[in-house]
Chains A and B, each alone.
Chain A
Amino acid sequence: MNIRILLPATALLLTQHAFAFCGFYVAKADATLFNDRSEVILVRDGDRTVITMSNDFKGDVRDFAIVIPVPVVLERDDIKVVDRRIFSALDSYSAPRLVEYFDANPCQPVVMYDLQSVQESSAEMEDAPRKKSEEKAKAYGVTIEAQYTVGEYDILLLSATQSTGLKDWLIDNGYKIPATAHDVLDPYIKSNLKFFVVKVNLQEQQASGFDHLRPIQIRFESPKFMLPIRLGMANSNGEQDMIVYAFTRTGRVECVNYRTVKAPTGRNLPLFVKEKFGLFYKHTFKRAWRREGRNAVMLEYAWNVTPSWGGMKCDPCVGPPPMQQEFVDAGVNWGQGPNGGQVFFTRLHVRYSRDKFPADLVFQVTPDQEQFQARYVLTHPAQGDLSCEEGQTYLEDLYYRRVRELDELAMLTGWDVAKYDNYTNEILRRLPPEKRKGMFAPPLSIPHGPSGGSGRKNLMVAAAASLLLLMLAVVQRRRSAQLSA
């Protein structure tokens, strides 16, 4: 099969997003490296884990290198390169969605119903000197456990006895590693993790004909179900985004050492949001993430996606459901056929930074099968003549509905919605003056500042203060009881 032919033209566009993930980039030249957003597919079945990392590296491929801690020494067959299209398929299928509904005209009792959906624009070594290099590595306390060429990548699996040796080995072999990485390497070495070091084999890359680096997939057996994000933060102090697409047999995946919260969903929004849905969700996510104290993992989608299961897998579906082959490519080795078991899909969005996410992400598979999607609703007004009595009542209701929609938008995004007053006024103008008089615009709860996080703090402080007061009262009471005795 000639994979080149199958590559979509949009694949190149995806390279606008840089790749960060769990590892850090180590460059041989002073190329500007970006750590903005990464995507990971996690497949977990018992102790078996398959991790696929998207690889949207911008820059000269000679500068590309990543280091990822892994629990075991991987065999050649445990490493694959896969088609990048899996990521775009999973992303578009599970992305936050906007759904449109159309009101029926109350003056024309004809039932009209339509459903459309729009999708969020997805924001987003050679053999001969082998012995020699192994001996050299040993001098650093570094052991080359295995080395393979897989697709366009040269892969080394290293184990080390001390971080200084590993750091020196990487530097002396031309990898430029961040100064702060040293502190992070040590705990991984002591946890008996191995280091999966990847760089591009230029010959293979040229021979492959690909103009981008394909995702790398690794599989291993280990009770550890985690993503080592700390290494990825070694060369970045800012915030990084990671989208995790997880597949299990039993149910939803959640984080055990950070809160997993649901993204805002089921909200009714003004119609004009359709034109800027990408921006809307970006701001909504940011605000929700701030409200949660910047250290929560956001659930964006959770659904049973078993291919043979006939039930509805989304409402609305923003892309075609993942195909059998995409599951197989992602590393799901069950779910085929009528008795193949079920496949549960979880999409998590993590925005992490060094100060708010001090520890690596640890996950667990739960039996929870509750369906969830980040879904937003637009409702188009009824068309045609609305001059009948029901029509006038409808317009009144529509006016208040639009006020609430603006309010919702302001609450979700923090946008100043005062500039959209025409959205409500255009309905008001359609009402006769005598009706208009009795109507008032409820005050919009336009939030100021970044979030409602201060509300939680106030609640905490109030609760703690009342507890202390209660405690003092009890102590006082006991003392007086003792005195009187």
Chain B
Amino acid sequence: MPPGHSATEAFRWFTSDGRHYQIVFLAGFLGYGIFDLGWDAEVRRHLTIAATCLITQAFFIRMQGLKWSTLKSAAISTLGLCLLFKAGSMWTLVVGAFIAIASKFLIRVKGKHIFNPANIGLLAAILLTGDAWVSPGQWGSGPALVFLVGAAGMMVVLRVGRIDTSAAFLLAFAGLDFCRTVLYLGWEPEVWLHKLTSGSLLLFTFFMITDPMSTPSAPRARIGWSILVAALAFTLSWKFYIHAAPVWALFFLSPLTPVIDRIWKGERFSWITQRPLPTTITTNPQHA
């Protein structure tokens, strides 16, 4: 809720929380998908995911006496799922969206949730129901997408302070794929670029792997962990022909985060800017 009356205060309120950026950009991508890429027939899917996520979050807010502002996190998970998660039946969507939000509260180690909510919700639905899927090709590929997703993503990761995670993952993945596709197999660089400029890969890079609540806290450990995710994603994609490989790699490596956090201590992330604000929301939300 914007605390002030003037535009400056509203702007300050907006920039004080990194989640606001994420919500705006993810909603922008969803709007682009709906209005320009022709996903208009999927509005029912989006509404089902949104309703399930928000109701589940509201339930846990009431149960655990949390701040209502944590609904913003549920909104981010909702948008992430809308962009990735497809299913034949509405019930599959409900299951996936419920698991996504519930996992934040039920699978925790030392106050941090282990899995990125959208990531676990989506993959749990695929594994449990067999009725869900990801369409890695739905964004297409191209320089315009790189610019759009890249610019938005950069803003978010700079604000959240996770540029190291995105950069390490993208550089490692691009490097490994360049070695295989161009240097070893001998394809033209266009083949490599086509894969790298995929909208799905970029969204993952800037909006999923950067989740500060499920990545290691120490910067160096985080870089190492991102490279590991990239290496696993690369292996899964060319060795096992798994198409949404980065999403799976993140899922498999997320449980490593608490272990890494134990070894390399780092400052815990807070969504809210620490500079004094004329508001009451200066304390960290317990759960995000």
For B199, the closest partner residue in chain A by CB is: A259
User: Which single member of A191, A366, A457 contacts B144 (CB below 8 Å)?
Assistant: A457
Q: Cα distance A459–B32 when bound, in Å? A: 9
What 0/1 readout, one digit per residue, does chain A (175-189) give for beta carbons within 8 Å of chain B? 000000001001100
Chain A interface: which of B49-57, B132-140, B246-254?
B132-140
Judge whether A254 is part of the interface by a CB distance below 8 angstroms: yes
For A259, the closest partner residue in chain B by CB is: B140
Q: Is B133 within 8 A of A367, CB to CB?
A: yes
User: Among the interface residues A256, A474, A477, which one has the most CB atoms of the partner chain B within 10 A?
Assistant: A256
What 0/1 readout, one digit per residue, does chain B (191-206) give for beta carbons within 8 Å of chain A? 1011100100000000
Q: Cα distance A191–B186 when bound, in Å? A: 10
Q: Is A367 within 8 A of B130, CB to CB?
A: yes
Q: Cα distance A459–B34 when bound, in Å? A: 13
Q: Cα distance A108–B200 when bound, in Å? A: 57
Chain B interface: which of A309-317, A324-332, A412-420, A460-468?
A460-468
* Chain A residues, CB < 8 A from B194: 257, 358-359
A237 CB, nearest partner CB in chain B, Å: 15
Q: Is B241 within 8 A of A224, CB to CB?
A: yes
**Interface hits, B154-196 → A, CB 8 Å:** 154-155, 159, 184-188, 190-191, 193-195
A contact face: mostly helix, strand, loop, or mixed: mixed
* Chain A residues, CB < 8 A from B151: 464, 467-468, 471
For B159, the closest partner residue in chain A by CB is: A474
For A461, the closest partner residue in chain B by CB is: B144
Q: Is A257 within 8 A of B198, CB to CB?
A: yes
User: Which single member of A251, A293, A370 contacts B140 (CB below 8 Å)?
Assistant: A293
Q: Is B28 within 8 A of A474, CB to CB?
A: no
User: Which single member of A186, A295, A467 contacts B185 (CB below 8 Å)?
Assistant: A186
Q: Cα distance A456–B38 when bound, in Å? A: 12
Judge whether B109 is part of the interface by a CB distance below 8 angstroms: no
User: Which single member of A187, A191, A223, A256 contacts B136 (CB below 8 Å)?
Assistant: A256
Q: Cα distance A14–B152 when bound, in Å? A: 51
Count of A interface residues, CB-CB < 8 Å: 44
Contact-residue size bin, chain B (C-beta under 8 Å from the other chain): 35 or more
* Chain A residues, CB < 8 A from B136: 256-257
Q: Cα distance A322–B143 when bound, in Å? A: 43
Sample of 15 A–B contacts (CB below 8 Å): A186-B185, A187-B187, A256-B137, A256-B243, A257-B137, A257-B198, A258-B141, A259-B140, A364-B133, A366-B133, A367-B132, A463-B28, A467-B151, A471-B151, A481-B275
For A357, the closest partner residue in chain B by CB is: B194
What 0/1 readout, one digit per residue, does chain A (215-247) give for beta carbons within 8 Å of chain B? 000000001110000000000000000000000
Q: Is A296 within 8 A of B140, CB to CB?
A: yes
Q: Cα distance A132–B15 when bound, in Å? A: 77
* Chain A residues, CB < 8 A from B193: 358
**Interface hits, A357-373 → B, CB 8 Å:** 358-359, 362, 364, 366-370
* Chain A residues, CB < 8 A from B36: 456, 459
**With A359-B195, A474-B15 in contact, do A190 and B32 touch (Cβ < 8 Å)?**
no
Judge whether B37 is part of the interface by a CB distance below 8 angstroms: yes
* Chain B residues, CB < 8 A from A259: 37, 137-140
Given contacts A259-B37, A460-B144, A471-B154, 6 further A-B contacts (CB under 8 A): A259-B138, A259-B140, A358-B194, A359-B187, A456-B36, A464-B148
